[in-house]
Amino acid sequence: MITLETVADLRLSVSTWRSAGQRVALVPTMGNLHEGHLDLVRKAKSLADRVVISIFVNPLQFGEGEDFSSYPRTLINDSDKLSSVGADLLFTPPVSEMYHRPQPLQTKVEVPGLSDLFCGASRPGHFVGVATVVCKLFNMAQPDVALFGEKDYQQLMVIRQMVEDLSLPVEIIGLPTVREVDGLARSSRNGYLTDAERSIAPALYRQLQQSVVELKKGKYDLASLERQAKIRLEAEGLRPDYYAIRNADDLAEPTQDDRSLVILAAAYLGKARLIDNIRVDLE
Residue positions forming the annotated binding site for beta-alanine: 61
Q: DSSP letter string over 31-67?
A: SS--HHHHHHHHHHHHH-SEEEEEE---GGG--TTSS
Q: Which stretch binds ligand PAF (CB under 6 A): 128-136, 213-221, 226-234, 272-280?
A: 128-136
Candidate residues 26, 130, 145, 147; the one interacting with ligand PAF per rule CB under 6 A = 130
| CB 155 to ligand PAF: min, Å | 6
Binding mask 5-34 for ligand PAF (x = CB under 6 A): -----------------------xxx----
CB 254 within 8 A of CB 274: no
Chain centroid to Cα 163, Å, comes to 16
Question: Which listed residue (14, 17, 28, 37) is catalytic?
Answer: 37
Q: Is 36 in the site for ligand PAF (CB under 6 A)?
A: no
Q: DSSP letter string over 137-150?
A: HHHHH--SEEEEEG
**Phi, psi (deg, nearest 5) at residue 147:** -120, 140
Q: Clarify whether 100 is annotated catalytic.
A: no
| CB 146 to ligand PAF: min, Å | 9
Per the DSSP assignment, residues forming a β-bridge with 246 are: 262
Candidate residues 134, 175, 193, 215; the one interacting with ligand PAF per rule CB under 6 A = 134
- Which positions are annotated as active-site residues? 37
Interface residue list for ligand PAF (CB under 6 A): 28-30, 58, 61, 130, 133-134, 152, 155
